[in-house]
Structure 1
Amino acid sequence: METQPAPIPTRISVVMPCYNAAPFVREAVECVMGQTRGDVELIVVDDGSTDASRDLLHTLAAAHAPRMQVLHQDRKGPYPARNLGLRHAGGSLIAFLDADDYLSPDCLEKLAAALDETDADIAYCGWQNVGEGAPGTTPYVPPDYAALDTAAEFLRACPWPIHAALVRRAAIDAVGGFSERCFSAMDYDLWLRLYAHTQKIVRVPEVMAFYRWHGGGQISKTRWKQVLDALRVRRDFVAAHPER
């Protein structure tokens, strides 16, 4: 009987909330499973989908076992879903990816290498908007925030989208994961709280994360709610950290 090789221990956990993303979730899953590192697991939390996402996720999980698992919850929103995924994550490094976005094949390898080389707690990269209605599709590499007034830059705007960073699990645990007080902007809230906890960040100046826009749907009442939630996040951070 042929001996099977031992599974590679998980170092990176990717947490993905999914709500009615059937047209896109296969691409998102495959971009994680196709990463150039073999020590990556994917935890997808189905957030009460009513389309074909649930069945598709189970088909994909069977194809990628044991590196992919699917969890389910009633519709609660993306941040409770991410917190649920975090509770099941086995890696010491954490990435987040939405079910309609994707990463370059070497994204996690390069971000993890940057963390190892610098002993930073957060590694981040550039990104590009894609899809119909994207407000500009020019690839964007953010500044080296560590060389700037980081607090001022972070308070000006969310420094990077949720899938353009890799974070040490210990740092996320230290700040308690995602707040669930708002339906949006809680990724921005997490980056601010992580900055208050650790100033050890490192940039990988390459575009490796891709954010999908969906026509005019994002320029709507929901978009204005996101703006208001982001303003609340800034206000709450300044109130909690007046010395910053």
Structure 2
Amino acid sequence: MTQTPQISIIMPCYNAEKCIETSIDSVYRQTFKDFELIVVNDGSTDDSLSILQKLADRYSGLRVIDQPNKGPGPARNHGIKEATGQFIAFLDSDDSWHPDCLAKLHRALQNNKDASIAYCGWQNMGLEPNHCKPFIPPDYEKPDKIETLLRGCRWPIHGALTRKSVIDKAEGFDEQWTSCMDYDLWLRIASFNKVVLVPEVLSYYHHHDGEQITKNRLRIAVNHWKIQLKFLRAHPEIAEFLGSRKISEITDGELLHRAYVSYWRNDLQTAHTLFRKLLFKRYFKPKDLKYLLPTLLPFNAYQSILLKLRS
């Protein structure tokens, strides 16, 4: 490894004693070796910090930073400030990479000097087989790229390699978000910089029984919606180009979709909140009213009625 590594890998860690060693092992099995790994222990209350200190003695280029619990966004920003590489990769403490992940993403950016992000395919692990199929995203570098990016997060946080210069220019993660902070960052960077696809499955998202950022469906839905609106306020020229009808379809329409998903998955608390929000925003069609109007009731009454109807 050179004195100044090509890639800095940022890994936030909070109460990850059961999986942190596996994730770090996937880093050190990379065929690309010119990296540093910065693990930010975000106030873990389990044995994570002592495990990390032992691993730091085993692995070269592993730096452990300990801070009070602030959340994954601030932890990643702390790591970015300490990073010395030209490129940044993010890997959460419960996820992993294919051994060739960094090599192939790095090669894509080296071969495309005008690109700021290289992204790849991924696979969910630990769910039912029909939810664990490998997925390779399309090439998003198309004329409608901004609209496509605005509609949703197009690759997971650990499925991309980014030039540090563009992350610094974007001022890193917006720390107001408790979820969807990667969506916000990719939207702000990729909308105005070239991205390049590596059409292979190189990253793995591991689902488990512990607390994961992606588990709170309501928080994710609302934050996703707020990030869309924030982006459009910051770029009125894009809002004007898309027009009010399409903006409503992209923003409120996505919120309605998430409300229905929650409803049919029996997450009635999330469905109640989202349907109610859309009712008062007056974003619905007549066929939606049979789902929206009952949310005028308090949640307990709403839940009780639905459970009786379903039984």
Verify same fold: TM over 0.5: yes
Q: Is the 8 A contact 1:130 1:211 kept in 2?
A: yes
- CA shift digits 1:17-67 (9 cap, x unpaired): 0001111110111111221112011000000101111111111111013x1
Q: Is the 8 A contact 1:124 1:204 kept in 2?
A: yes
Which residue in 2 is equivalent to 1:229? Answer: 223
Q: Does 1:44 align with 2:39?
A: yes
Which residue in 1 is equivalent to 2:169? Answer: 174
Which residue in 1 is equivalent to 2:205? Answer: 211
- CA shift digits 1:85-116 (9 cap, x unpaired): 01111100000010000000110000000001
Which residue in 2 is equivalent to 1:104? Answer: 98
Superposition map of 1:52-131 within 5 A:
52-65=47-60, 67-119=61-113, 120-131=115-126
Q: Is the 8 A contact 2:184 2:227 kept in 1?
A: yes
Bigger fraction of residues in helix: 2
Unpaired runs of at least 5, structure 1: 1-5
Q: Tell me how far 1:218 sits from its aligned partner.
A: 6.0
Q: If you compute each CA radius of gyration, which structure gives the higher value, 1 or 2?
A: 2
Q: Tell me how far 1:219 sits from its aligned partner.
A: 10
Q: Distance in 2 between matches of 1:220 and 1:183?
A: 10
Q: Tell me how far 1:156 sits from its aligned partner.
A: 1.2
Q: 3-state SS of the aligned residue for 2:150?
A: helix
Q: Tell me how far 1:224 sits from its aligned partner.
A: 1.4
Distance 1:95 1:218, change over 3 A: closer
Distance 1:231 1:110, change over 3 A: same
Q: Tell me how far 1:182 sits from its aligned partner.
A: 1.5
RMSD: 2.0
Q: Aligned residues: percent identity? A: 47
Q: Tell me how far 1:134 sits from its aligned partner.
A: 8.1
Q: Does 1:31 align with 2:31?
A: no
Which residue in 2 is equivalent to 1:3? Answer: none
Q: Is the 8 A contact 2:214 2:220 kept in 1?
A: no
Q: Which gives a bigger RCO, structure 1 or 2 (Cα 8 Å, sep 6+)?
A: 1
Q: Distance in 2 between matches of 1:17 and 1:221?
A: 17
**Aligned equivalent of 2:150, options 148, 155, 159:** 155
Unpaired runs of at least 5, structure 2: 239-311
Q: Distance in 1 between matches of 2:213 and 2:9?
A: 28
Q: For this pair of structures, how many residues does the alignment match?
A: 237
Q: Is the 8 A contact 1:10 1:39 kept in 2?
A: yes
TM-score, normalised via structure 1 length: 0.92
Distance 1:138 1:132, change over 3 A: closer
Q: Does 1:192 align with 2:162?
A: no
Q: 3-state SS of the aligned residue for 1:194?
A: helix
Distance 1:134 1:239, change over 3 A: farther
Which residue in 1 is equivalent to 2:12? Answer: 17
Q: Is the 8 A contact 2:10 2:90 kept in 1?
A: yes
TM-score, normalised via structure 2 length: 0.72
Q: Tell me how far 1:215 sits from its aligned partner.
A: 4.4
Q: Tell me how far 1:217 sits from its aligned partner.
A: 6.0
Q: 3-state SS of the aligned residue for 2:131?
A: coil
Distance 1:141 1:220, change over 3 A: closer
Q: 3-state SS of the aligned residue for 2:88?
A: strand
Distance 1:100 1:218, change over 3 A: closer
Q: Distance in 1 between matches of 2:213 and 2:175?
A: 23
